[in-house]
Amino acid sequence: MKICIYGAGAIGGYLGVQLTRAGADVSLIARGAHLAAMRELGLMLLAGEEKHIVHPRCTDDPTELGVQDFIIITLKAHSITGVIEKMQPLLGPHTRIVTAVNGIPYWYFYKHGGQYENSTLESIDPGGRQWRELGPERAIGCIVYPATEIEAPGVIRHVYGNNFPLGEPSGEITSDVARLADLFVAAGLKAPVLDRIRDEIWLKLWGNVCFNPISALTHATLDVICTDPATRALSRAIMVETQAIAETFGVKFRVDVERRIEGARKVGAHKTSMLQDLERGRPMEIDPLVTVVQEMGRLTGIPTPALDSVLAMVTQRARIAGLYDGVSTPADPRALALA
């Protein structure tokens, strides 16, 4: 089974080590010092007291790799459109694309049913390029729950978690998603195949849509955001708006708002990914985590005053820092051409 991990950073590197150890034919797409270190010394995973080193194929040039069975995209979601052309040599008639990214994926309305079937979302897929050039029919959904970090070039530190729920947009358990799940399990990972993958996408996004931008504005960690009365109330208001939008699309939440906030509080003094990106001078995932929810609210006619205010402030914050080049005011989705 040929697997290309496109964007072999912290999560991609973790998957790369585990899948290589399980016997898969793994190739990693990376760049810079991280790529150079992996080529020279291999890819190291530090997990508790354990240390594993593997030597998968590593490159910054996809043309070297040929057609793959699976491409696991572990890039920041806002980076995908910029590498569509580079991905083309990896795609064959049976290649599947596993979207291990935060937020709403480009294929969301594929096999969705109802009036929004085959719609695209401008905030996450400008001009519908991912839909047209990668193809929603190739997609397998994947939610990333582990926490990992690049400790040094070529060195991945596993912090906690090993759960990667998978699912077909249609809800079917196909042979493709079943064999991918089997490989993940052989690699020591949890990979339940869900028949309602969108529910799980929204459950994770439910926290990201509020905690991420609030942390970038306040520099507060999760425990503080969820304990301080003002930021907890603001988080709750955004989550209530988000839930109303998601439920319009048939999503079912298996926990309530208060339980979701409490779960985040118990994580402790954790910096969200958006705050980490801000501190490191990297573009923040504003559009796939926040703007897309606003866009879907406009699509359904549900007002989002709390989200709108926080989005406006975090977007301005990112622009001032030179860390935003996205879509601050998405086009009316009903005006977009269907694929």
Q: What is the DSSP string of 196-250?
A: -HHHHHHHHHHHHHHHHHHHHHH---HHHHHHSHHHHHHHHHHHHHHHHHHHHTT
DSSP letter (8 states) at residue 255: S
DSSP letter (8 states) at residue 16: H
Return the structure tokens found at 207: 């926290």
The per-residue pLDDT string of the chain (339 residues; one tens digit each, 9 = 90 and over) reads: 999 999 999 999 999 999 999 999 999 999 999 999 999 999 999 999 999 999 999 999 999 999 999 999 999 888 899 999 999 999 999 999 999 999 999 999 999 999 999 999 999 999 999 999 999 999 999 999 998 999 999 999 998 899 999 999 999 999 999 999 999 999 999 999 999 999 999 999 999 999 999 999 999 999 999 999 999 999 999 999 999 999 999 999 999 999 999 999 998 888 998 999 999 999 999 999 999 999 999 999 999 999 999 999 999 999 999 988 665 444 333 333 332
* Contact yes or no for 214/264 (Cβ under 8 A): no
Side-chain-facing half-sphere of 179: CA atoms under 13 Å: 10
The CA–CA distances, whole Å, from 266 to 187, 224, 225, 254, 263 equal: 28, 11, 11, 18, 5
The CA–CA distances, whole Å, from 19 to 13, 14, 116, 279 equal: 10, 9, 36, 31
Is residue 204 among the annotated active site residues?
Answer: yes
The pTM (predicted TM-score) of the whole model is 0.92
DSSP letter (8 states) at residue 127: G
Residues 6+ apart with CB under 8 A from 43: 8, 13, 16, 17, 20, 28, 53, 54, 55, 56, 58, 154, 156
- How far apart are the C-alpha atoms of 123 and 155, rounded to whole Å? 33
Return the structure tokens found at 117: 């079937």
Which pLDDT belongs to residue 315?
A: 96
Which pLDDT belongs to residue 324?
A: 82
- Which residue among 86, 204, 252, 266 is the active-site one? 204
Q: Which helix (H) or strand (E) holds 252?
A: none
Residues 6+ apart with CB under 8 A from 52: 17, 21, 44, 45
Q: 3-class SS at 43? A: strand
- How far apart are the C-alpha atoms of 284 and 301, rounded to whole Å? 27
Helices (runs of H) and strands (runs of E) counted in the chain: 13, 11
Handedness of CA 205, 237, 295, 284 (dihedral sign): negative
* Contact yes or no for 232/225 (Cβ under 8 A): yes
- Total Cβ atoms within 10 A of residue 112: 18
- How far apart are the C-alpha atoms of 64 and 60, rounded to whole Å? 9
Backbone angles phi, psi at 333, to 5 degrees: -55, -25
* Contact yes or no for 153/137 (Cβ under 8 A): no
Which pLDDT belongs to residue 325?
A: 66
Which pLDDT belongs to residue 331?
A: 38
